[in-house]
Structure 1
Amino acid sequence: RQRPDLWLAQWDHKYGLRVNCERVGLPTERWATGEDYIWYSQGPYRWGSSLSQGYLADMGLQSRHMHAAGGGRPFVVNKYDYRRWRVWAAEATAHGGAAIAYHAGPPQPEETEAGLAPEDFYGPVIRAQRFLAAQESFLHPASTWSQVGLVFPRAQERDSEMECVDAFKRIGEWLEDARLLFDALLDEQLAERADRYRALILPDIVRLSREQIDLLQRYVEGGGVLLLTSASGRCDERGHEYEADPLADWRLSTEGVATEAFGQGYVVHLPTMSWDPVPTPIHTLDDAEMPVYPRLPDDPVGQTVIECLEECLGSYWLHSDAPWYVRVRGWLPEEESAFVVHWINYLQDEQAVAETPIPIGPIHARIRCPDGFEVES
């Protein structure tokens, strides 16, 4: 490199976590090689919510994926949200991102005519940057504090299996709505990272090598909780179907969510179901049709999964009465004797020209202290 002090990244696109990324087919050793941070555009129609329709326009799953795929490198989510500056900054901060997209700036002439003013941009952005600078030691460097690992099907994605992320997205929305402390991790990171989590979730991770299956069996027998969908583990790492199903003992039922103890751990089996969202015209976005998943309060299967998972774990690390549109992420900073819990409130006046957050609360939360910490009253 001619300028080692110059940070580099490639501007890529991964709208809605679909299998359409410019480098989707690259092997691990060449993915984002030489890049100092990760940059992904997540597509249009992410600039406004419609909470009454269950549409949040958030970047929680995308951010978790980028953090995992980039090996913890900083990242930038570009979602063209030129109104919700506070939400954009809060998401980036909560998920380990670097900043809002650089080209998102003060209002253009046509936006000024609609009622936006430069201070609608400069005010929240400058305050956010000052806050980040003042609190940097609590934000970076830091490692995630997560109870659950949600596995991303990188092997299937690499071969452009177009529907391979559907279960990941649907189950991920359940976890978000329930405010679980969770990470994404790639299937190829299982050997390295499985032991970081009290529970692992395999959302249609069809391809698993013999080594990965052995690892998962040791994980469960040693006390871990594994939630797998019916399609998981049917094929080897190259996509060839196993002659004898190596996970047959864990496929507990075809009728509904089932749980069984194995060794010191548990398996939760989720049979085949539709992962598809509902195409919905979003009223706040001029009726642009967007995929909307049923929210957890309206999704009986999701509720059952969340309940079974907690029963196997004993308890979740975090409980809160916050509504579904408040999201959460936990971190352990390396340079501070503290643990950090970020809360993101997406409730806003959706009809206002400029961003107008609506405070909520008080909310109540019960949080398990990480190992080695005590609460000072």
Structure 2
Amino acid sequence: MSEERRLAVLRAIVQDYVQTSEPVGSKALLERHQLGVSAATVRNDMAALEEEGLIAAPHTSAGRVPTDLGYRVFVDKLSTVKPMSPAERAAIAQFLEGAVDLDDVVDRTVRLLATLTRQVAVMQYPSLTRSSVRHVELVPVGAHRLMVVLIVNTGRVEQRVIESARDLLSPDGERLVAEIRTRLNADAAGRPLTEASAQLQSLPSRFDPADRDVVRAVVRALDDALVEEREERVVLAGTANLARFGTDFPLTIGPVLEALEEHVVLLKLLGTMGSDSDAVAVRIGHENPHQGLQATSVVSTGYGTGRDLVAGLGVLGPTRMDYPTTMASVRAVARYVSEILAS
């Protein structure tokens, strides 16, 4: 029973400190929370929590604040992630459903997450290793020009235009375009991007010699698009929100801002997704390997198409974070993004 009570005291300290940013004393705990015990018992529990390294006294203050370990225990003891209200879910769905393409989805997602959590939102573009070809379309845009359109399962669309000596609007040219389109999709559709690129290298040899120049040009155009898809990209929003938490960083927010400029660092933060789309990962303070981010917490999860996770998204802010609400927002937004990409 004493352990459960100490956890209740820890939970109350975390909640009060997140809300007020002021060290929390035993008197304030008794006034704000129905703990059902005496002041002496609360002081004893706080002493025990401090001995375990879960709370600490900043400077000479009579109050206590949670440590990184204290936040970790608090997060690990959350029995469930707080559900969002129907109105909140409807607002998320309406905002994201208006997106016109993948770039718009990503832009809307980070802006929405930054607004919901008042933190820095981060989203990774779908990863090469987790993306696949949905369809390849060929569209003649003149007698001697052909648009090659690559559509990826995550909704990204890449276009290239090639030149051809053949008359692509003639009956023979239309036949050739239709045959290339059919064979392209037979070889590439449903395959991961790297596998599709390798599979298409032998495609020209399966055509008549007179047709191979056009096929080679199409394959080169697709290969260029596939290579471009391999670039790992992240998008940020809400960096200005950090200014609201200036006192939460030991010296300055400078190291945090510098780390946010390094996309490799951000990719690593989002690159620890498991296979469970409902799982929300929380890295607190010194659990972040990058030194510049050791005064921050990162809440992240994966998003994808159906059961396949293709990338990560999340938020970054000070360790004094409303973890239940932030975790709920990140998970809810990821679910809606996954639904949009799968549709």
Tell me the TM-score normalised to structure 2 length: 0.22
Judging by fraction of residues, say which structure has more helix.
Answer: 2
The higher radius of gyration belongs to 2
Higher RCO (CA < 8 A, seq sep 6+): 2
